């Protein structure tokens, strides 16, 4: 069976481009597409069954991506969601993750292979993290490394949980009563342990591994 995908984006040209990219392989079918959140939710309500995956633009004039994602999570909990963004804005994307998205995709850097791989992995694994340094290595870790094998300390776990918020690192340091230098150390340790190199990647990998929850 084909993976069913629904798209909401307030730029028609982008919707058309995404449709072309993801339907070329024959593995994916676009079952709904809309230019705003309200129309998107209406289309979803008319489908015989919810799509497997929803691709959601973050910044839309009518009902932003966070509201759309939150609503979908409440009404259609089985739908896996991926955020789409033109900016690599950690705080916005983390808000989308907190709203229920399991991946973030940067519009300007997407090509066919990345987009298809993202959809296939979201469908199969429940998460897609483009920030992971080596996808094959990450899949191996998924099978062989348990949470306790990562040797994440309680304080690193606390830091990682706070990194899921919209707090700046300095604010996280204040909240944990630690110096910014110590926080930088936690961040670098977690980047290494989770095999990532950005805050968003760290949060996604922490969620995927079950180290933290939202």
On average, the pLDDT of the chain sits at 87
Find the mean pLDDT for residues 112-120: 87
Q: Which residues pair with 57 in a beta bridge?
A: 84
Task: State the pLDDT at residue 25.
Answer: 80
95: left (phi > 0), else alpha (psi -120 to 50), else beta?
Answer: alpha
Instruction: Tell me the pLDDT tens digit for each residue of 2-52.
Output: 999 999 999 998 899 888 888 888 899 999 999 999 999 999 999 999 999
CB 80 within 8 A of CB 52: yes
User: Which strand (E) or helix (H) includes residue 55?
Assistant: strand 53-57
Considering the domain architecture, whether residues 45 and 112 belong to the same structural domain is answered as: yes
Q: Are residues 123 and 187 in the same domain?
A: no
The more confident residue out of 28 and 210 is 28
Judge whether 134 lies within some domain.
no
Note the pLDDT of residue 119. 94
The answer on 144 and 121 residing in a single domain is no
How confident is the model over 161-201, as pLDDT tens digits? 999 988 999 999 999 999 999 999 999 999 999 989 889 88
Task: For residue 81, list its beta bridge partners.
Answer: 54, 101
Asked if 7 and 55 count as a contact pair (C-beta separation under 8 A), the reply is yes
Under 8 Å between Cβ of 52 and 124: no
| Last residue within a domain, chosen from 107, 128, 149 | 128
Residue among 180, 188, 190 nearest 151 (CA): 190
Domain span including residue 156: 140-209
* Cα–Cα distance for residue pair 99/69, rounded to 1 Å: 6
């Amino acid at each position: 069976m084909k993976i069913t995908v629904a798209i909401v984006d307030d730029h028609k040209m982008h919707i058309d481009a995404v449709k072309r990219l993801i339907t070329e392989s024959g593995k994916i079918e676009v079952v709904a597409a809309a230019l705003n959140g309200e129309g998107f939710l209406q289309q979803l309500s008319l489908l015989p069954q919810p799509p497997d995956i929803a691709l959601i633009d973050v910044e839309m004039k009518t009902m932003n991506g966070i509201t759309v994602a939150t609503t979908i999570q409440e009404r259609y909990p089985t739908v896996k969601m991926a955020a789409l963004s033109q900016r690599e804005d950690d705080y916005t994307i983390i808000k989308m993750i907190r709203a229920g998205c399991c991946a973030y995709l940067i519009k300007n850097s997407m090509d066919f292979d990345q987009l298809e791989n993202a959809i296939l992995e979201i469908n199969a694994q429940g998460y897609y993290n483009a920030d992971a340094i080596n996808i094959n290595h990450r899949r191996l870790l998924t099978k062989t490394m348990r949470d306790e094998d990562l040797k994440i300390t309680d304080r690193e776990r606390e830091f990682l949980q706070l990194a899921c918020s919209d707090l700046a690192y300095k604010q996280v340091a204040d909240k944990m009563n630690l110096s910014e230098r110590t926080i930088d150390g936690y961040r670098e340790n977690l980047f290494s342990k989770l095999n990532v190199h950005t805050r968003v990647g760290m949060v996604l990998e922490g969620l995927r591994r079950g180290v933290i929850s939202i």
